[in-house]
């Protein structure tokens, strides 16, 4: 085995999977050594030998083994092991699908099955833990991870603290010894890397096993104290007091039609969502009346403007123009497409505004084939965590890692269907189970024969689903 590992180490170096220089790891650490095992897919013989060597580390004795490779580099290794040793394989997606079954874990399995995780390189262990938590949510038992390279920077300890045994083919020290023996590196490089490992350790991971799950099981009354934004805190309190998570989308074009609907729905909603620029007979008297109704019935006003431009432009759009949105809208919606600077621009527009304001960032859309997927979603989450002005995300799935943040989900109807313009609808219970704290209902109420009856039905179904979610 040792001779085999020496040969594989040299082979990995020769194909460029081991690099020396100045690099940044996933967790933000500078490093003089970098491992890029993705190149192995161009060398199937090396990849096959590596997979077989990795599987020799497995110690689990059970008839219900599943394999799961951490996406994406470890997937080919897991696939080869699965095929060679007839082991069923699971795939964890980077993000849940927003269509079809919306699964995060793909495969054929049962709760109680044991699953072994396959990983290429471990620094802090965060990627492995993300996979572990997703698998455990499906009832799988995970106690072991097989790793090609342990960077010796704290990952093993982080995993063991969570009850995960890590078995690795190499650690950095052993790998460098092999390369030094074959003249691939100099003693100076070995020394530099050794000094680096002593001085630069990854952070200790102390996150709960599934903070998203914790969010879904925590009552609004407790989460109200976990936010730094006054609008978010008020919203949590309103939801609890009114026993409602209903946001009414009053996407109507006439003032009287909107006010008539709000008079009916006001006592039962927590947010009124409007598009100010589609109103054909707009006047400031309308805004005055709307604010009076919001105070009377205790709901917040959201202008669904979906700002999506550079900082200076959104500043002007928010503060100036004929609508002067910053003066009256408690909440606005924003596309994060322009990056963090868009938040800075909107924040600057609030000079002189004394009432608190909040933003929902649009991370995912309910439209069919929307481009808000993958890395874009993760970047939106990252931006949301850096500003106290952001109170939550507009999204279709459970992606929020913060108790104090709200998930607003549009596209809700009592029955699943789709309109002829690509809008996809989901039931109240399904969106709540997918993480929604607040559900946006528009045409399901506006087009109802009995609007008040529809309002009460949505309100009840959403609240019942929320209470059930707390007990899951």
H or E element at residue 10: helix 2-14
Q: Which residues pair with 121 in a beta bridge?
A: 149
Q: Which two tokens stand for residue 309?
A: 């431009």
| The residue to which tokens 């342990």 are assigned | 150
Q: What is the pLDDT confidence band of residue 91, given thresholds at 50, 70 and 90? A: very high
Asked if domains 1-199 and 210-471 share a fold, the reply is: no
Q: Which two tokens stand for residue 352?
A: 């002189």
How confident is the model over 439-472, as pLDDT tens digits? 999 999 999 999 999 999 999 999 999 999 988 7
- CA 330 from chain center: how many Å? 25
How many CB atoms are closer than 10 A to CB 203?
13
What is the model's pLDDT at position 208? Answer: 45
Please say whether the structural domain 1-199 has been given the CATH code 3.30.70.20.
no
**Residue 206, CA distances (Å) to 117, 282, 441 in order:** 20, 52, 38
Q: Which residues, other chains included, contact 60 with Cβ-Cβ below 8 Å and sequence gap of 6+?
A: 114, 116, 143, 144
Residues involved in catalysis: 304, 306, 309
How confident is the model over 233-253, as pLDDT tens digits? 999 999 999 999 999 999 999
Show binding-site residues for substrate: 251, 273, 366, 423, 442-443
How confident is the model over 313-335, as pLDDT tens digits? 999 999 999 999 999 999 999 99
What is the model's pLDDT at position 140? Answer: 85
How confident is the model over 14-37, as pLDDT tens digits? 999 999 998 877 656 678 999 999
| The residue to which tokens 């023996």 are assigned | 181
Q: Residue 353 pLDDT more than 60?
A: yes
Q: What is the pLDDT confidence band of residue 212, given thresholds at 50, 70 and 90? A: very low
Q: Residue 62 pLDDT more than 70?
A: no
How confident is the model over 117-134, as pLDDT tens digits? 999 999 988 889 888 888
* Cα(287)–Cα(289) distance, integer angstroms: 5
* Cα(453)–Cα(460) distance, integer angstroms: 11
What is the model's pLDDT at position 168? Answer: 97
Give yes or no for a contact between 445 and 224, defined as CB atoms under 8 angstroms apart.
Answer: no
Q: Where are the domains of the chain?
A: 1-199, 210-471
How confident is the model over 399-419, as pLDDT tens digits? 887 889 999 999 898 865 554
Longest pairwise C-alpha distance within the chain: 83
Show binding-site residues: 251, 273, 366, 423, 442-443
* Cα(291)–Cα(329) distance, integer angstroms: 9
Residue with the bigger pLDDT between 382 and 54: it is 54
Q: What is the mean pLDDT of residues 416-440?
A: 76
Give yes or no for a contact between 271 and 331, defined as CB atoms under 8 angstroms apart.
Answer: yes
What is the model's pLDDT at position 401? Answer: 76
* Pairing, β 114-122 against β 105-106: unpaired
Residue with the bigger pLDDT between 454 and 375: it is 454
Q: Map residue 180 onto helix, strand or coil.
A: helix
H or E element at residue 440: strand 438-441
What is the model's pLDDT at position 288? Answer: 96
- Assigned CATH for 210-471: 3.20.20.70
* Cα(229)–Cα(343) distance, integer angstroms: 14
What is the model's pLDDT at position 204? Answer: 60
* Cα(8)–Cα(175) distance, integer angstroms: 10
Q: Residue 144 pLDDT more than 80?
A: yes
Q: What does pLDDT average to over the chain?
A: 89
* Pairing, β 105-106 against β 89-92: antiparallel
Which of the residue ranges 83-97, 182-196, 359-373 has the most confident prediction, judged by mean pLDDT? 182-196
Residue with the bigger pLDDT between 276 and 430: it is 276
pTM: 0.59
């Amino acid at each position: 085995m040792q001779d085999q590992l020496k040969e594989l180490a040299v082979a990995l170096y020769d194909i460029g999977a081991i690099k020396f220089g100045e690099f940044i790891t996933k967790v933000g650490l500078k490093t003089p050594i970098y491992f890029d095992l993705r190149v192995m897919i161009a060398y199937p013989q090396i990849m096959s030998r590596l997979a077989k060597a990795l599987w020799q580390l497995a110690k689990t004795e059970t008839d219900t083994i599943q394999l799961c490779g951490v996406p994406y580099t470890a997937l080919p290794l897991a696939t080869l092991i699965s095929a060679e040793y007839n082991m069923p394989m699971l795939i964890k997606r980077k993000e849940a699908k927003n269509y079809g079954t919306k699964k995060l874990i793909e495969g054929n399995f049962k709760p109680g099955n044991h699953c072994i995780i396959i990983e290429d390189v471990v620094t802090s262990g965060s990627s492995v833990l993300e996979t572990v938590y997703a698998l455990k949510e499906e009832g799988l038992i995970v106690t072991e991870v097989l790793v090609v390279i342990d960077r010796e920077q704290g990952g093993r300890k982080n995993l063991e603290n969570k009850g995960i045994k890590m078995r690795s083919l190499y650690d950095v020290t052993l790998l460098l010894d092999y390369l030094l023996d074959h003249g691939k590196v100099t003693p100076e490089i070995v020394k530099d890397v050794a000094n680096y490992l002593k001085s630069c350790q990854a952070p200790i991971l102390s996150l709960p096993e599934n903070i998203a799950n914790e969010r879904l099981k925590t009552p609004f009354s407790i989460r109200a104290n976990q936010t730094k934004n006054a609008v978010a805190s008020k919203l949590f309190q309103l939801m609890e007091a009114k026993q409602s998570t209903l946001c009414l989308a009053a996407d109507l074009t006439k003032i009287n039609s909107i006010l008539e609907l709000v008079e009916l729905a006001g006592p039962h909603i927590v947010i009124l969502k409007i598009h100010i620029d589609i109103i054909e007979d707009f006047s400031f008297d309308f805004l005055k009346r709307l604010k009076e109704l919001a105070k009377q019935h205790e709901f917040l006003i959201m202008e669904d403007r979906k700002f999506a431009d550079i900082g200076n432009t959104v500043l002007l759009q928010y503060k100036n123009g004929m609508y002067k949105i910053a003066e009256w809208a408690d909440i606005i919606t924003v596309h994060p497409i322009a990056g963090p600077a868009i938040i800075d621009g909107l924040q600057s527009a609030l000079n002189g505004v004394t009432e608190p304001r909040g933003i929902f960032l649009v991370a995912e859309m309910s439209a069919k084939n929307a481009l808000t997927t993958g890395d874009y979603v993760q970047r939106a989450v990252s931006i949301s965590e850096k500003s106290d002005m952001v109170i939550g995300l507009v999204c279709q799935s459970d992606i929020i890692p913060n108790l104090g943040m709200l998930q607003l989900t549009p596209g809700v109807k009592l029955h699943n269907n789709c309109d002829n313009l690509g809008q996809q609808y989901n039931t109240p219970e399904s969106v709540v189970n997918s993480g929604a704290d607040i559900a946006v209902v528009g045409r399901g109420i506006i087009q109802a024969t009995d609007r008040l009856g529809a309002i009460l039905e949505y309100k009840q179904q959403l609240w019942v689903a929320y209470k059930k979610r707390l007990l899951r």
